[in-house]
Structure formats: structure tokens, C-alpha cells
């Protein structure tokens, strides 16, 4: 005897309440159940209509991103939303023409389809640069300039930043900066993990109560955890106002590995004046420029970075990165009211120049954020090892 797909009751085939979907007849116990089932079909049509003028997404994208890498859960949401799809040999498969309406992609629990699930909650987005000639930043020098503003306006009594070691070139050393000089020398990015939390604890122990803290998402997460976990140190005993300045981050490397790799290319770290990661390449400047694909240094990438999914430091008050902006500018995502207010005030007081980030800049951030989010599925590894197919 057939089962009513809505209320799961057994029904007689002679019931007057029937519907046909995907060439199959369905039987219902009542007009109400039949109506619910038919409404579902209408919703698919409505969603299809509202997606019509958006980006065209075909089943091929779902196949490439989810089914082929082997991360499909076989929940059936895609198949249930399109007559052209069926499960064949344990996989959602196209059996008819695909109109690239995007409905299946938007139902799948494994795809990422909203901006906030890629970069967290954001109040406003900007591109900005320093107006202080003495600031030599990694991108627009905005992080350093904001710290200088907060220190000089008396809004912050110290900042936890990272500088390069004097003894071992390009080794990161976290410090508690309380002077203009210390903040200025922290400008620039070092692609190695920095033990910033030790310095944060030491700043609080020394009596700082308004602290600017700079770090990539894993560092910001540590502060957040200590502030919000029931037994977190910052929640229980060490009360301090911490402004979290997050850095976008795709990778860091083991210090010794980076040193050996560059030495094998006849580049001593002591000769390096600048390092940047741009468009999947490590750019190292000495008296000339050396460019290496990141795939060459995969082996020295920190293990934690291969499973990290947060590009933009989603739990910070304000985040900063290079992607999305022109050379010499920093992309800024203002997240909290405090982050936004301080950023705008730093501009009003002449520390930085700010402009809205254009849509194509934000799209670049979203693309990089997506590449990082899907790391959790280990798609690259699955395809390489053939495990997903
Ligand atoms: C490891 C790492 C990876 C990054 N990867 C990306 C990326 O993939 N895409 C992207 O768009 N942007 C990335 N960034 C961010 C980018 O390099 C800049 O830091 C950001 O755009 C701000 O530039 P700025 O000129 O305004 O900062 P600056 O004014 O130069 O200030 C830089 C700040 O970074 C801090 N810092 C430097 N190294 C570290 C470290 N290892 N740990 C903690 N804090 C540090 C310094 O203390 C300083 O306060 C990365 C940064 C780091 C540190
Ligand atoms: S027509 Fe079907 S298979 Fe093609 S994108 Fe739309 S829902 Fe997916
Ligand atoms: S909706 Fe996604 S997870 Fe569910 S069956 Fe389809 S591809 Fe697999
Ligand atoms: S990739 Fe993630 S884990 Fe690695 S340094 Fe960056 S934020 Fe931390």
C-alpha cells in the first residue's frame, strides 16, 4: 500500500487525492496533504524565477564542487528540487536537460551560498591607505596607522604586535608596544606563527586595560575563546578592553623550513627586505625579486593552516587584508560598532584615507574566502588521491 509522503500514513490507491511528480504517482490521505505536496513544487518554480537574473549556475558546478570530490551526503535535496535529476549508482546524476537555474546548488547543504557564511558579519567594507609617510606597511599601512591613532588619542594604553627578531632574520617576536617607535617597527607581515597570546597576558599583568591586539584568525579566536569560554582567563579574572584587529590569512610556514627553502635558492633570510603572498605565489624581495608558486612550499606550510577555514578573522572588531584592493591599499571589513567608529575617526583625524570598496574588490575577497572555507572538505587532497570519485 502506498504511503502519503507528507504525513507518512498508509493510503489506499483508490484515494481521490493524487499528484504526479517526476513521472511518478503520489497518493495522499487528504486534500490538505496533497496541497502541501503541490505547494512544494510551486516553491521550486518560485525560487527558479527569483534566481533567473542572478549568476547562472548549472548542475556541473554542484558535480564539480560536491559530488566528484566525494563530499555529497546523499541527502537528496538536489534531486528533490529538479525533475532532471535522479540518483544513479549512488550519485545525483543529470538525466535530462539542465537550464542552469541554480536551484539544486542553492539547496545543497554542502555548498556555501551566502556572503556572511564566507566572511562573517560585516557592517561596512572599505579600501584604505595611510596618510603618514613614516608608516611602511605591508599593504596600505592601515593597521599600523590605526594603532598610532588609538595610542596618540589616548584610546589604548598598549598594543600587542609582532616585530622581526634582531637575532634571527624574519623570525616573529610578539611584543607589547607602548611607544610610537615600537608600533612603527611592527609594520609588515611575517608568514610564520607568532605567540601573540603570551604578550597579551603580559600586557594585562603589567596593568594595561585598553589593548589593541593584532593577529590572524587563529590568534583572534584565542582571544575570543578566553573572553567567552566559561573558564576563559579573560572572562574570569583578567578584565581588559581588547580591540581585536584581525588580519586576513591563507598560510603560514615553519620558520626553519622557510629558511632552508630560501637558502636552497641562494637567498639568505638576512638579505630579504620584503615578503608577500600574491595570487598563489610567494614573492620575496632582496636586491631583486624572486617568485615561487605556493605549491613549491606546500611541505613547509604549518599543519594547522591546511585545515583552517577562516580567511578574514571573523571574530575581530575590524579585519584587514591585501586581497580586493589595489597595490598600496588595505581592504578593511568593519564588523563591530566600535571597530567602525574608530576606523572612521582615524580617517577624520588625518591618519588614514578611506574609500568604499567596490563590488569587484569584495568579490575577490569572497572568492579567496571560499577557497579557504572548502579546505574543510579537503577537496584538493581527495581529487589527488582519487578518494572522492
Ligand atoms: C601570516 C599572514 C598571512 C596573510 N595572508 C594574507 C592573505 O592570504 N590574503 C590577504 O589579503 N592578506 C593576508 N595577510 C594580511 C596582509 O599581509 C596585511 O597584514 C594586511 O593587509 C594589513 O596590511 P597593512 O599594510 O594595513 O598592515 P601593516 O600596517 O603593515 O601592519 C601589519 C600588522 O601585522 C602584524 N603581524 C605581522 N606578522 C604577524 C604574524 N605573523 N602574526 C601576527 N601579527 C602579525 C604586525 O604586528 C602589524 O601590526 C596576511 C598576514 C599575515 C601576518
Ligand atoms: S535545471 Fe536542475 S540540474 Fe540544472 S541547475 Fe537547475 S535544478 Fe540544477
Ligand atoms: S543536495 Fe548536495 S549533499 Fe544532498 S544529494 Fe545533492 S549534492 Fe549530495
Ligand atoms: S591559515 Fe589559519 S591557522 Fe594558519 S596562521 Fe592563518 S589564521 Fe592561523
Q: Are residues 86 and 209 in the same domain?
A: no
Residue 385 pLDDT more than 70?
A: no
Range 17-42 average pLDDT: 84
- Is any atom of ligand 3 closer than 6 Å to the C-beta of 85? no
- Is any atom of ligand 4 closer than 6 Å to the C-beta of 306? no
Range 1-13 average pLDDT: 86
Residue 278 lies in a domain: no
Q: Are residues 212 and 341 in the same domain?
A: yes
Report pLDDT for 378.
63
Q: Are residues 194 and 312 in the same domain?
A: yes
Range 151-158 average pLDDT: 96
Q: Are residues 137 and 184 in the same domain?
A: yes
Q: Are residues 122 and 201 in the same domain?
A: yes
- 226-231, long-range: CB < 8 A, 24+ apart: 226/197
Closest ligand (CA of 63): 3
Give the domain range for residue 75: 55-111
Residue 252 pLDDT more than 90?
A: yes
Q: Are residues 31 and 158 in the same domain?
A: no
How far does residue 304's CA lie from ligand 4's centre (Å)?
Answer: 7
Q: Is 229 left (phi over 0), alpha (psi -120 to 50) or beta?
A: beta
Closest ligand (CA of 134): 1
Q: Are residues 162 and 146 in the same domain?
A: yes
Residues with Cβ within 8 Å of residue 121, at least 6 apart in sequence? 314, 335
Q: Are residues 61 and 48 in the same domain?
A: no
Least confident window among 4-13, 40-49, 287-296: 40-49
Ligand 4 pocket test target in 220, 294, 305, 321 with most atoms within 8 Å of CB: 305
Residue 288 lies in a domain: no
- Is any atom of ligand 3 closer than 6 Å to the C-beta of 72? yes
Q: Are residues 5 and 96 in the same domain?
A: no
- Is any atom of ligand 1 closer than 6 Å to the C-beta of 245? no
Between residues 94 and 113, the one the model is more confident about: 94
Q: Are residues 74 and 199 in the same domain?
A: no
Residue 68 pLDDT more than 60?
A: yes
Q: How far apart are CA 156 and CA 241, in angstroms?
A: 9
Model confidence band, residue 234 (pLDDT cutoffs 50, 70, 90): confident
* Model pTM score: 0.86
Alpha helices in 19-119, H assignment, sequence order: 31-51, 59-62, 77-80, 103-107, 115-119
Q: What is the DSSP string of 210-264?
A: EEEEEEEHHHHHHHHHHHHSTT-HHHHT---EEEEEEE--S--B-HHHHHHHHHH
Where in the chain does DSSP place strands (E)?
Answer: 18-21, 24-27, 85-88, 91-94, 124-130, 158-164, 172-177, 210-216, 241-247, 274-278, 281-285, 289-293, 318-321, 330-334, 352-356
Residue 295 pLDDT more than 90?
A: no
- Is any atom of ligand 3 closer than 6 Å to the C-beta of 177? no
Tell me phi and psi for residue 85, to 5 degrees: -110, 145
Model confidence band, residue 382 (pLDDT cutoffs 50, 70, 90): low
Residue 290 lies in a domain: no
Residue 275 lies in a domain: no
Residue given cell 547562472 in the structure block: 56
Residue 235 pLDDT more than 80?
A: no
CATH code for the domain of 90:
3.30.70.20
Range 286-290 average pLDDT: 96
254: its cell numbers = 615553519
Q: How far apart are CA 38 and CA 31, in angstroms?
A: 10
Residue 120 pLDDT more than 90?
A: yes
- Is any atom of ligand 4 closer than 6 Å to the C-beta of 251? yes
Between residues 382 and 77, the one the model is more confident about: 77
44: its cell numbers = 521550486
Q: Are residues 234 and 314 in the same domain?
A: yes
Residue 2 pLDDT more than 80?
A: yes
Total tally of structural domains belonging to the chain: 3
Closest ligand (CA of 52): 2
For ligand 3, atom 2, which residue shows the shortest CA distance? 108
122: its cell numbers = 560585516
Work out the percent of the chain whose per-residue pLDDT is above 70: 95
Query: What value does the mean pLDDT of the chain take?
Result: 91
For ligand 4, atom 4, which residue shows the shortest CA distance? 305
Residue 296 lies in a domain: no
Find the length of the chain. 389
Least confident window among 142-151, 207-216, 235-244, 294-303: 235-244
Tell me phi and psi for residue 325, to 5 degrees: -110, 160
Residue 281 lies in a domain: no
Residue 350 lies in a domain: yes
316-370: pLDDT as tens digits: 999 999 999 999 999 999 999 999 999 999 999 999 999 999 999 999 999 999 9
Q: Are residues 97 and 219 in the same domain?
A: no
Q: Is 350 helix (H, G, I), strand (E, B) or coil?
A: coil
- Is any atom of ligand 4 closer than 6 Å to the C-beta of 216? yes
Residue given cell 589616548 in the structure block: 154
- Is any atom of ligand 3 closer than 6 Å to the C-beta of 113? no
Amino acid at each position: 500500500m502506498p504511503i502519503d509522503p507528507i504525513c507518512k500514513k498508509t493510503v489506499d490507491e483508490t484515494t481521490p487525492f493524487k499528484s504526479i511528480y517526476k513521472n511518478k504517482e503520489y497518493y495522499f490521505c487528504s486534500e490538505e496533504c496533497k496541497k502541501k505536496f503541490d505547494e512544494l513544487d510551486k516553491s521550486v518554480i518560485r525560487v527558479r524565477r527569483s534566481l533567473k537574473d542572478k549568476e547562472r549556475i548549472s548542475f556541473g558546478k554542484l558535480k564539480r564542487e560536491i559530488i566528484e570530490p566525494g563530499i555529497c551526503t546523499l541527502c537528496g535535496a538536489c534531486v528533490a528540487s529538479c525533475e532532471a535529476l535522479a540518483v544513479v549508482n549512488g550519485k545525483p546524476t543529470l538525466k535530462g536537460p539542465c537550464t542552469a537555474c541554480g536551484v539544486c546548488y542553492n539547496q545543497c547543504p554542502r555548498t556555501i551560498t551566502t556572503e556572511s557564511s564566507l566572511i562573517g558579519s560585516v557592517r561596512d567594507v572599505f579600501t584604505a591607505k595611510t596618510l603618514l609617510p613614516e608608516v611602511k606597511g605591508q599593504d596600505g599601512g592601515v593597521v599600523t596607522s590605526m594603532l598610532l591613532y588609538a595610542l596618540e588619542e589616548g584610546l589604548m594604553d598598549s598594543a600587542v604586535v609582532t616585530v622581526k627578531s634582531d637575532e634571527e632574520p624574519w623570525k616573529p617576536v610578539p611584543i607589547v608596544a607602548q611607544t610610537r617607535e615600537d608600533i612603527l617597527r611592527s609594520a609588515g607581515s611575517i608568514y610564520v606563527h607568532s605567540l601573540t597570546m603570551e604578550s597579551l597576558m603580559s600586557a594585562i599583568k603589567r596593568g594595561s586595560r585598553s589593548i589593541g591586539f593584532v593577529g590572524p584568525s587563529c590568534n583572534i579566536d584565542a582571544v575570543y575563546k578566553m573572553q567567552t569560554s566559561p573558564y576563559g582567563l579573560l572572562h574570569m579574572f583578567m578584565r581588559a578592553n581588547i580591540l581585536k584587529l584581525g588580519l586576513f590569512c591563507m598560510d603560514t610556514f615553519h620558520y626553519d623550513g622557510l629558511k632552508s627553502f630560501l637558502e636552497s635558492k641562494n637567498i639568505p633570510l638576512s638579505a630579504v627586505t620584503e615578503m608577500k603572498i600574491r595570487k598563489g605565489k610567494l614573492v620575496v624581495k632582496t636586491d631583486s625579486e624572486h617568485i615561487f608558486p605556493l605549491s613549491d612550499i606546500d611541505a613547509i606550510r604549518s599543519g594547522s593552516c591546511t585545515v583552517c577555514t577562516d580567511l578574514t578573522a571573523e571574530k575581530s572588531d575590524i579585519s584587514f587584508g591585501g586581497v580586493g584592493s589595489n597595490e598600496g591599499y588595505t581592504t578593511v571589513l568593519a564588523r563591530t560598532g566600535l571597530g567602525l567608529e574608530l576606523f572612521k575617526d582615524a580617517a577624520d583625524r588625518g591618519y588614514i584615507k578611506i574609500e568604499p570598496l567596490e563590488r569587484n574588490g569584495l568579490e575577490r575577497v569572497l572568492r579567496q574566502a571560499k577557497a579557504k572555507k572548502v579546505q574543510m572538505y579537503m577537496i584538493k587532497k581527495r581529487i589527488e588521491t582519487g578518494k572522492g570519485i
